[in-house]
Amino acid sequence: MKRFSIYISSIFLVFIGFQAHAQSLIVGFDTVCINYELKLTTTDTLSNTNYWGFCSGYINNTPAGSSIAAGTGLSAPTSIAIQKANNLYYVFAVNSGGSRDIIRYDFNVNLPSVPLANNIGNLAAMVPVNPTGMQIVKDFSGNWHGFLLGGTLGKFNLVRMDFGNSLSNIPTSEDLGSIGGILNEPQDLYVFNEGGNWYAMIFGALGHVHLVNFGVNIENISPATSLLDNIGVGVSGIWPVLENGNWFIFYVNKTNHSLNRIDFGNSLANSFLPLTKFNIAGGTLGNPFNDPKDVSFIKDCGVYYAFVTNQGDNSMTKLTFNASVKNVPTILNLGNFAGLNGPSYLTHYLRDKDNIISFTANKNDNSISRLEYNSCIASTIPSSTLKTPPSYSYTTPGTYNVYYVGDEGLPTMKVDCKLITVLPKPTVEISNDTVICQGDTLRLIANGINVFSVNWNPVYNTPLPTDVTTIYVHPHEDYRYNAHLEFLSHDGCPYDTSVFVKVNRVIADAGADISVADGANTVLGGPKTSYGAEFKYKWRPPLYLDDTLSANPTCTPLDVQAYYFEVFSDSSRCVATDTVWVRTECSDFNLPNVFNPSSDIPVNRNFGLLNFNVIKLEHFKIFNRWGGLVFETTDPKKRWDGTFNNLELPSDNYVWILDGYCVNGKRIRKQGTVLLVK
């Protein structure tokens, strides 16, 4: 079985885990919101060393497990015990196969580590056949002793191991035999000191409960014995609990697959006290066990828990008794989380700072399993050795165990724990991050059940008020709007959230309003327009434009005209618009300075006015370099084709003179030259 050092003065709680200090050592809130800072202090002003674990192993969390497999000397192990001595951890496993050797695992200072396996032999062939219960205790002089039960038909015995002052020693041994013939299929034992005398309570498979009295000397080889009771066939593993000065023994029964409780009152050594027996798990709570082998208890943060190994289906069952072992427990089958394979006896649970660990022996595959409730990773600071630790927070909702130790390892050691409930963010209705088109207005919502207030900040392009659930925004650029929500309910956490609004800046730049000379052209569209393959363009009306689907069409106006320009984004579906005015002015004659009668472009094959608003000519004359008249007209639309009297004239510069009137009545007189090329 399990076991660890025990000697009882009058009330001594070493077998349940560390006893909480009568006065709470941890001061601070026990309920906080996720990601909100928590500040804890301690009332312990005397300890010279302090340790805080903010995310310590918690029995109500999901356990972890690992296996120390064959190859370390195991051969069908059954008995197992754990002890901490001089801040070093040891696990002893006893083989029922082979030569029945004892394997000592040295974990040094860290139980979750990989241990060093040491075969310490079989006590000169004194290890019993079919080893069962085992316990290791420390006497008042500082020497360690182990007790091991076992045997087979015709020979059942109790063996004592003497380690001296260190569990790293190879023990000597003493075979106490059947203790005056009382042993008959012994299954488990509990060694304790009460009133200065050493006792062993031994349970047998046939139901006999014997009390063995060693007196003041734990090494007494002729102890007195007495029969306490007969509790029925099928007893296997046992576990003692002292609660408020009263003793209880729990035992599993393999015959009826149950866990039972015996109430002893204020003394285990009082053999005259009538025993009161209770079947606390079995038929009345369904069938939670499957061929149970052993039970182990731990009290953690004021709550009692029991664990039972099930050999029938290689599983472990957890029972939660809450504040008293006399309560009806809730039961949970933890399944096989640690490579269980024929799990036998359990060690007691040890808290190694933030880890709670026990071991069981697996007879079927020559291994032992490590059963772990480990520290979590949900606190922003895992631990602290300061008397007043820094503020920290939890990143995940749940229940977390804060573990405090002052003067660890000293007679003045103080231990306390505190459960912290971390509330989740409340369920809220919040607008999603979104994309809007520049210039549009967007409605943002932040609301929830029992919401008391909502404050938006900052308030960029947000009309007042901003302490409401709904606001309307019209940002001109990408912007994140933050919302802080407070709730009416006492457990409603404040909620900080935000909405990111991405602004799609589709720009239509039709250009500045422009005046164009009569007969001239211009290119529309300004430099700020959004360009790219994702954009489409459209100009309206199409009048005087060469391409209405171009970002920059050519405009040849005949009069004053307004144009509407639209840019459309395929990706965001946003549309931008702009307008431009184009005005035509008749203030001058507009003529080319060169023409070629053989040009591929028809408009370049002759020479004449490009104006549209000249309505009358007094004359339009063209002369060669010797002053000879080669062309003359009073028609504004008539053009010279480079001939005279139907003869083609040579390439040369020719002089022209014009006198005429615009549609607005303005008279223009002008002369110039044109180059005829061929």
* pLDDT bucket at 12, cuts 50 / 70 / 90: very low
Q: What is the Cα–Cα distance from 176 to 156, expressed in whole angstroms? A: 10
Model pLDDT, residue 560: 86
What is the mean predicted confidence (pLDDT) over 363-380? 94
pLDDT digits (tens, 9 = 90+) for 295-330: 999 998 889 999 999 999 999 999 999 999 999 999
Percent of the chain exceeding pLDDT 70 equals 94
In this structure, the number of other CB atoms found within 10 A of the CB of residue 150 comes to 26
Identify the pLDDT of residue 20: 36
Q: What is the pLDDT of residue 439?
A: 84
Q: Domains of the chain by range and CATH?
A: 26-383 (2.120.10.30), 428-504 (2.60.40.10), 514-585 (2.60.40.10), 594-676 (2.60.40)
Do residues 485 and 451 lie in contact, with contact meaning Cβ atoms separated by under 8 Å? yes
Can you tell me the distance from the alpha carbon of 417 to that of 56, in angstroms, rounded to the nearest whole number?
Answer: 9
Amino acid occupying residue 210: H
CB 139 within 8 A of CB 104: no
Average pLDDT of span 179-189: 94
Stronger pLDDT, 468 or 223, i.e. the higher one: 223
Q: How far is CA 317 from the centre of its chain?
A: 28
**Is pLDDT of 4 > 60?**
no
At 15, the pLDDT band (50, 70, 90 cuts) reads: very low
pLDDT of the residue at 451? 87
pLDDT level of residue 545 (50, 70, 90 thresholds): very high
Amino acid at 357: I
Q: pLDDT tens digits for 49-76? A: 999 999 999 998 899 999 998 678 999 9
Q: What percent of the chain has pLDDT over 90?
A: 72
What does the block give as tokens for 375? 């520290």
Predicted local confidence at residue 16, as pLDDT: 28
Q: For residue range 497-534, what is the model confidence (pLDDT) as tens digits?
A: 899 999 998 999 999 999 888 888 999 999 999 999 99
How many residues are there in the chain? 678
Q: Are strands 102-108 and 88-95 parallel, antiparallel or unpaired?
A: antiparallel
467-474: average pLDDT: 86
Which class for 171: exposed (0-12), middle (13-18), buried (19 or more C-beta within 10 A)? Answer: buried
What pTM did the predictor assign?
A: 0.67
Q: Tell me what pLDDT residue 170 has.
A: 97
∠ CA 418-419-420, rounded to 5°? 115
- pLDDT top residue among 193 and 352: 193
Label residue 151 exposed, middle or buried (CB < 10 Å: 0-12, 13-18, 19+): buried
- Do 271 and 211 meet the contact criterion of CB atoms below 8 Å apart? yes
Q: What angle do CA 546, 551, 554 make, to 5 degrees?
A: 30
